[in-house]
Structure 1
Amino acid sequence: MDCGIGTLIVLLHLCVPFGEGSPMEFGANSGLRRCGRVYLTVSSSQDTSLELNWITDCVHPDNLKPDYVALYNYDVKDRSEEAPPLVKIRASDFSSGYYKTKIKFGHPWLPGNWEYRETLTRADPGPHCFPYWIASFRGSNIIDTKCLGIQPTWMNDNRLQIGTQKIGNLFIPGTHNSGAFNGVPKFLENYILNQDRSVWTQLVHGIRYLDLRIGYYDGDGFYVNHDLVRITKVAQIFKEIRKFVQLAPKEIIVVDFHRFPYPSNFNATLHEKFVSLVYDYLGDLALPPGGLQVGKGPTLNEIWAQNKNVIICYADKAVARENYWLWQPLQQHWADTKNVDNLKSFLSKAIKEHRVTLNPMFALMAELTPQPIDLLFRTNNLRKLANDVNRKLTMWFRDEWARDVNIVATDYFLGNDVINVAIDTNINR
């Protein structure tokens, strides 16, 4: 479990103020690792710059090495007129297959009528694009093109391909410290916030695993915490989960109440009060484990047949046993390192050595963690560490581990392409 950095912050707070011709498309769906395939990410730094990414492994004779990569505000496959790209680079100038643009993504309105509001009663199913498209070219021919978009109904969209898969075998994209996206003073943000999008926005983009840590404060009630630092009240998050399930009733969401860090004696009375609150908001949506926690768990078809698609995992085994609708604790594998190579070694070992527990699912916490000394010297903040590793995570899970993982939780999730990798992997499994 990742803990400690919040404790140190609380202590420090006491003493520190804080193209040519007609394009022709080649094999855009011909494999996850095809040379020249492209995707867009959003920088994990505060500038939210759009990042161009393309695959550079061009050994296979059928692969087309791109001459250049470009960013557009429209889909070049659907437009015949020539309109200049926002950015165009020569691929050979960037051998790593990565280029950070100066175009800011910011926090745009969600397409497809998916912007959150309490009165929302309908949103458009299927994927939807923001007005940003990346394309790779060989001469005037398109190798691949893809937009930056949302995947609010990806499970239902692909139900024929993924319905027979067991929940413990599914590649599920998630976020680490999902509720830590705003609500703390500026001087705490770089070492407390692991995300910069609301839980609602995470779900709309395609995240299906939420990692939540809970604190209780007399007079104020229950909050999402990052260790000892409280962030935001849980009620709003529960409202967003509930609204999302109403609009996307076939999407299966795993809610993991993974720790209860405050107060240090989170006693039986507090657990009883919290479980009651969760039930008030989500109880009728919760899938009871029954006999489903055996082996790799139920298939998606079996879950859908019950019309209850929120799986709620609870860190306290005794409390989970006492409440028929709660699942047993979900095992998280957490490296507690700020070194990229150490993280990769840890994740590789965790994948190989993981054993099934009382819960059929397991989570790889695929993020780097600042150490106490980093806080003292203001180094290696969470945004920097996410920038250091997010692009590598995409390659690791796409090229090496795609078929061997279950839940993958990351920081600043728009900085990687794990959601799309998970969807493609599940479809092609």
Structure 2
Amino acid sequence: MMKIRLLLLPLLPCLLFIGPLRASCPIYLTISLSGKALHDSCLEVNWGPDCAGPPEWIGIYGQDPTISNFQPDLRINGITNRTGKLSTPIKLGKLLFPGGWNRQDSNELPATRYPRGKCLPHYVASYNGTELLTVECLKIQPNWMAQIKDGDQMPLKSLFLPGSHASGAFIASYSKTKSLLVKDYLVAQHFDVWSQLVFGIRYLDFSVGYKYMDSDNDADNFWIANENMFIIPLAGVLRDVRHFVERSGELVILDFSSFPIGFYKHPEIYSSLFHLLRQELGEVAYQRNMTLDQHCANRNFRQLLSLGIHVVLLFPTQELPYPENESGLLCSPWQRFSTSYMNISQTLDYMRLLFSKKPDGPVQDDGWIFTAVKSMEQTLNTHKLQTAKERAAVINPKVNQWLKGPWGMNANVVAMDYFSNTNIVDLAIEVNAHKAFLLATKNKFINLEILR
């Protein structure tokens, strides 16, 4: 008699999950980097990668095309390639967030929870003839971590966290900023930190500079910096983070990655910054148990949220004097990898090395950050000094496309300049849902024995 044992995973959840990921030709919207200001920026249509069958036409709408027979604001015909990005003449315009998610909205009423995102009035749909194939929209994702069903076993190091590089390098008004250097080369994001978090970014990268402001409040001396220049005050950014996590209940990683101006050989300035962080974020930030030597990347994100913890601070504690350097408020920096001085071919090879997670590779079982950026110096090799937007327009779509393959499953933090010309937030949500499902079903199988 022969005995055959079959281990079967629950089939229905597998099919439900795989279905949307295997759409024959996914279509989505991003924001072009060609506009001088955000409201002047145009919508981009993206399809792929590797569409099995491109649609006959794509329509752009200002309303949901599934609820009525609207005519498109723009119709795009003749798509033949399997992967592509096309800028449209439709401008983004002024953005207002629904459901109480604007910064200035009152805190008296709770903001609407959108665990599956909320569409803004910009839709894209694909068709074969009159047959509707897919519909997507430009959306905010203020509560996406609530979507990770069965994520109870997932530590921070296992999450795919969408991030922004030089997160505070933003100016509200280009018209009031006279410096072309700031406008074209130092600004690195379309959105301020509040809006980045509302769109779904969960990792923020801060470079901090110290500028003495002759003020009674020492907090006024700390500024967001980029490329060794001051951009905006830090204190307001920290308050935005605190207000967002209080309103959303989400978890955010803050990485104080560099201190390019005013900190060198001044431990007392590091100490003042620590006290500012404790003052602004201490009530919502993770406090390590020093006796257990807890590694922050190993902590389960749902457990942190259940304890009322919504911020994790990464900080080089060795720069702090005693006793601040032993504070449980600060976590040691995670491993960092950057493409700053690489061309596209070198970036691909570098990602292959990192995201394969080979036993002898640089990425192992710990928290790690992949920063997909191109530096100003690197562009000089092409004999043309590219603006920050031009650099991001080259590298972002490539990295975004490569992460949609198996590499995305090994991602932890991925940070970009001008993340808004990718769909990295949606990609991270899909990957995290997949990871959580695999963890939840790891030990849940049906054991069938067939006797022959």
Partner of 1:314: 315
| Paired residues of 2:126 and 2:133 also in contact (CA < 8 A) | yes
2:187 partner amino acid = L
Partner of 1:34: 23
1:98 partner amino acid = K
Partner of 2:92: 105
Matched, 1:49 2:42: yes
Q: CA deviation at 1:380?
A: 1.4
Q: CA deviation at 1:377?
A: 7.1
Q: CA deviation at 1:264?
A: 5.2
Question: If you compute each CA radius of gyration, which structure gives the higher value, 1 or 2?
Answer: 2
Matched, 1:123 2:111: yes
Distance in 2 (CA, whole Å) between partners of 1:392 and 1:115 is 31
Structure 2 unaligned residues grouped into runs of 5+: 1-15, 214-219, 436-452
Distance 1:298 1:342, change over 3 A: same
Matched, 1:246 2:246: yes
Q: CA deviation at 1:262?
A: 0.9
What is the RMSD of the two structures over their aligned residues, measured on CA atoms? 2.5
Distance in 1 (CA, whole Å) between partners of 2:260 and 2:169 is 14
288-297 or 341-350: bigger deviation: 288-297
2:25 partner amino acid = G
Matched, 1:417 2:423: yes
Secondary structure (helix, strand or coil) at the match of 2:55 reads: coil
Distance 1:311 1:373, change over 3 A: closer
Partner of 1:83: 70
Secondary structure (helix, strand or coil) at the match of 2:237 reads: helix
1:152 partner amino acid = P
Partner of 1:23: none
Q: CA deviation at 1:292?
A: 7.3
Partner of 1:160: 149
Query: 389, 393, 399: which one pairs with 1:393?
Result: 399
Distance in 2 (CA, whole Å) between partners of 1:58 and 1:270 is 53
Q: CA deviation at 1:143?
A: 1.7
Size of the aligned set, in residue pairs, is 393
1:15-414 aligned within 5 A: 30-46=19-35, 47-55=40-48, 57-59=50-52, 64-79=53-68, 82-93=69-80, 95-117=82-104, 119-121=106-108, 122-126=110-114, 127-156=117-146, 158-182=147-171, 185-188=178-181, 189-219=183-213, 220-249=220-249, 251-263=250-262, 265-290=264-289, 291=292, 293-294=294-295, 297-317=298-318, 319=320, 321-337=325-341, 339-351=343-355, 352=357, 353-356=361-364, 360-371=366-377, 374=380, 379-414=385-420
1:38 partner amino acid = I
Q: Residue deviations 1:119-147, cap 9 Å, x none?
A: 43432110211111111112222221111
Distance in 1 (CA, whole Å) between partners of 2:153 and 2:239 is 30
Partner of 1:22: none
Distance in 1 (CA, whole Å) between partners of 2:344 and 2:22 is 22
| Paired residues of 1:151 and 1:206 also in contact (CA < 8 A) | yes
Q: CA deviation at 1:375?
A: 11
Distance 1:292 1:308, change over 3 A: farther
Secondary structure (helix, strand or coil) at the match of 2:21 reads: coil
| Paired residues of 1:213 and 1:227 also in contact (CA < 8 A) | no
Distance in 1 (CA, whole Å) between partners of 2:23 and 2:198 is 28
Distance in 2 (CA, whole Å) between partners of 1:369 and 1:142 is 42
| Paired residues of 2:26 and 2:51 also in contact (CA < 8 A) | no
What is the TM-score when the length of structure 2 is the normalising length?
0.81
| Paired residues of 2:317 and 2:330 also in contact (CA < 8 A) | no
Partner of 2:7: none
Structure 1 unaligned residues grouped into runs of 5+: 1-26
Identity %: 26
Distance in 1 (CA, whole Å) between partners of 2:113 and 2:424 is 21
Distance 1:380 1:53, change over 3 A: same
Q: CA deviation at 1:346?
A: 1.9
Distance 1:45 1:120, change over 3 A: farther
Distance in 2 (CA, whole Å) between partners of 1:132 and 1:292 is 48
1:88 partner amino acid = R
Q: CA deviation at 1:35?
A: 2.1
| Paired residues of 1:315 and 1:330 also in contact (CA < 8 A) | no
| Paired residues of 1:286 and 1:310 also in contact (CA < 8 A) | yes
Q: CA deviation at 1:31?
A: 3.7
Distance 1:29 1:136, change over 3 A: farther
